[in-house]
Structure formats: structure tokens, C-alpha cells
Structure 1
């Protein structure tokens, strides 16, 4: 009985994942912490509270965690104007809304970043609600954000659209099916093995095949 579409923002609607990795690399370098970019990319999709200990270790989190997150924000602000919407993102959102779904844009990002990205995809005009880091005590892959997104619109049940294995994990904790995109840099095999119901190349590809998914029409 799906009546709500929960759509991740970073990496799903806007092309940010590699910008995130570079910003984290520069933030870590301020504290003489070296982590290869490929490993940083593998963690993109987690919230910053989970990301630092995962990619750099618990000791780095204890010594520099909050400072690193602040440094990351400063570095990300330097590249945010380079970020562009992914092909078909705005059309996908409009189609979901036109089909009658309650539409929530789910991000664990800072409010200023989320609102910037909403403007890139005309999200304010179509979304019933959106989330930021203020809406989840624990970020992905914990399910808090997905649960709170559904609660914001008083939906009965949802399907998730995301680009990372962490989106799939977060939704899976609540038995919410995920339609995954390759735009985050994770492979189709990884996404399916984590539990994605289907995998699409891009927002445009999903838009063109919505009738073949659980988001064809509200149940």
C-alpha cells in the first residue's frame, strides 16, 4: 500500500558524491589524516557522524570528529556552486507528484545545503516536505531519516529512491523497498545485494520506467 515516495537528494537528484569525497579529503588533510579518495567515496551516503569513524577510525573521531565536520562544511561550501542537477531529476519529482504520491525529499545534509539543492531541482514547488540533519538523531545507514520522512507527511507506507547502499540499508530496516540509481558510483550488483528492488542508470531512466515499478501509482 505505497502512498509515499521518499527521494534521497545528494547523489540521487544532484551530482554531489565526488564533491563530497574531495571536500572530506581536504578537511582530513587539515589534521594530517590521509585517506584515499576511493575509500572516502565508499563512505559517501552516510551522515557525517557515522562517516568519520568509518573511514578514518575511532581515534580520529575522538580527537577531531566535530572539527572535521566543520572543516568539511567549509570545504564543501567552496565547491557547492559547481554542483549540477542530474539529468531528469526535476521531471522525476514532477511525475511522482502528478501520479498522486506524497513526496518527501530526504537528506541528512545541513539545512543550507539541502535548500540550495532543492532550488536546483525545483524541489520546493513539488515536495510535500523535506528533511535535513536536524530531523534524525542518527544518520544513514540507521533508519531514522526514512522513518521521520514518512512521518512528516503522515504516510502509511513508502518506497525509497536512492543512490547508495546506505539508502538501501536505511530503508530496509523499515521494510521500505528501494529503487536505486547508479549515480552515486555504487555498482548495480552491490545495490541489489544490499536489497534494492531494482536499479536504474539515472533519474531520467527511472522516470521513463516508473510504470514498471512500485511507484507506478499510489496503492
Structure 2
């Protein structure tokens, strides 16, 4: 039998994983793009949530994320999130209790998210800012999710090897990014939209952080 290494670090996605924000991100994209004369539907955006915004710009609008238009759209979208959406968001069930348990276990906790300037506000709204060790911002990685660059930066920040970490996320893009970096991924369903077939490359799937906490002993977190 192969010995499984007990994890030393947990790499977290935040949107849909620790805070119920995927719908807010979708609506913020739709409203901002409409203001810029780009009519897109909710569904066109929703399945892209979890990818980096550079990927969204390329796939949806065919523009580079460093273009003047993309930069203005990003500025306007983040402002809309901060003013209209994030103050009304709730953490996912059990988010703080799960993170507290991880801290008590001595795990290093790193946010590995595609969120940018809005990340501090998301962490504060989720009630988690005081519990996490560090975060990776998108500009620290060459490629965004589903590429594995953000995960590799998170591993370096945590000071661990890939087989000493576990990723927790809610989209196939989290799973793909973790897999590319050689990290095992736990998926949660609370982000909505994706069914278990889409999340099937995860090492385990739970309803939400509360369910993961209840089943800790049977999860990849237990080593």
C-alpha cells in the first residue's frame, strides 16, 4: 500500500468555495459589459466564472486583458462588485469553522484565486481575513486558471511540495489548475452550476465546507 503524505498546506479558491459570490461575479460582468455596449447573456458569462479575467476577455470578447478597453471594464466591474454586490454576500456553509479547524491542525492556508482587487473585500465579507496566512494575486502568476501557475506560486508561498498540499475549489478550473501543478483537489458543490461529472477529476466531492468538516476523517485532509 502506498503511504499517503499528510498535507501541510491547503490552497483555497474563494469564489463559490468560501463565499457565495459566483452569481454576483456573473451579474457584475453582464452589467459592466452592457455599460460598455457589449451585450452578453448571463449564461455566456456563468460558465466562465472561475477562470481568470484574462481568459474571459479572450474567450468572450476576443481582446487582450492589458488593452485599454479591458482595463476600463475591469476597473468598472471591480467598483460595481465593491459597491453593489460584495456587501450583500454570505460565506458558504461552514466556511469559517472549516478554516478554523485547519488552523488548529497547523495547516498553512493560502488563497489561490483568480479574483483581483476585490479579494480583500471578499475575504472580509466572508469573515476569514484573520485566519489565512497569505494569498496569491493574479499578477503574481503568468497564466491564470485553469493553468497551474497560480497553484505553483501558492506552493512556493506555503513553502511546501505539491504532494504536501491539497486544493479546495468549486469549479473544473480549480481542479485542472491543481492537477497541472501536481496537487490533489477537493471539490465543493456550493459554487453551483457544475455537476459531479464536471468535477469528477477531484479526489473527493463534498456539498460545502460544513460537509467537508463533518467528514474530515474521510477526506484527503486527514492524510
TM-score, normalized by length of structure 1?
A: 0.89
Answer yes or no: is 1:79 the counterpart of 2:60: no
Q: 1:132 Cα shift?
A: 2.2
CA distance in 1: counterparts of 2:100 and 2:218, whole angstroms: 17
- Name the SS of the counterpart of 1:191 in structure 2: coil
Within-5 A mapping of 1:5-154: 5-54=10-59, 56-58=60-62, 64-77=69-82, 78-111=84-117, 113-154=118-159
Answer yes or no: is 1:205 the counterpart of 2:211: yes
Residues 25-58 of structure 1: CA deviation (Å, up to 9, x unaligned): 011101222222012110000111111222x231
Q: 1:128 Cα shift?
A: 2.2
Q: 1:63 Cα shift?
A: 7.8
Q: 1:6 Cα shift?
A: 0.7
Within-5 A mapping of 1:150-189: 150-156=155-161, 157-185=164-192, 186-189=194-197
Deviating more after overlay: 199-208 vs 129-138: 129-138
Contact 1:47 1:108 in 2 (8 A): yes
Answer yes or no: is 1:191 the counterpart of 2:216: no
Q: Which runs of 5+ in 2 are unaligned?
A: none
Corresponding residue pairs, total:
213
CA distance in 2: counterparts of 1:3 and 1:141, whole angstroms: 23
CA distance in 1: counterparts of 2:132 and 2:80, whole angstroms: 28
Q: 1:184 Cα shift?
A: 1.7
- Name the SS of the counterpart of 1:125 in structure 2: coil
Q: 1:102 Cα shift?
A: 1.6
TM-score, normalized by length of structure 2?
A: 0.88
* RMSD of equivalent CA atoms: 1.9
CA distance in 1: counterparts of 2:109 and 2:75, whole angstroms: 30
CA distance in 1: counterparts of 2:195 and 2:165, whole angstroms: 24
- Name the SS of the counterpart of 1:180 in structure 2: strand
